[in-house]
Amino acid sequence: MLLVGEKDHVKPIISAIQNTKELNLQPVPDPHNSSQLNVPLPAPTKESRDAALAAAHEVGEKAKVAITAARGVMQKTLRQMELKHLALPDELRRAHKEMEKIVQGATADVKKTVDAARKGMEQA
Helix (H, G, I), strand (E, B) or coil at 114: helix
Average pLDDT, the chain: 92
Q: Which of 69, 60, 77 shows the shortest CA–CA distance to 103?
A: 69
Phi, psi of 26, rounded to the nearest 5 degrees:
-125, 95
CB-count exposure of residue 27 (10 Å: 0-12, 13-18, 19+): buried
Q: What pTM value is reported for the model?
A: 0.68
CB-based contact 87:81 (threshold 8 Å): yes
Percent of the chain's residues with pLDDT above 70? 99
Digit-coded pLDDT (tens) for 56-107? 999 999 999 999 999 999 999 999 999 999 999 999 999 999 999 999 999 9
> What are the Cα distances from residue 40, in Å, to 14, 27, 98?
13, 7, 48
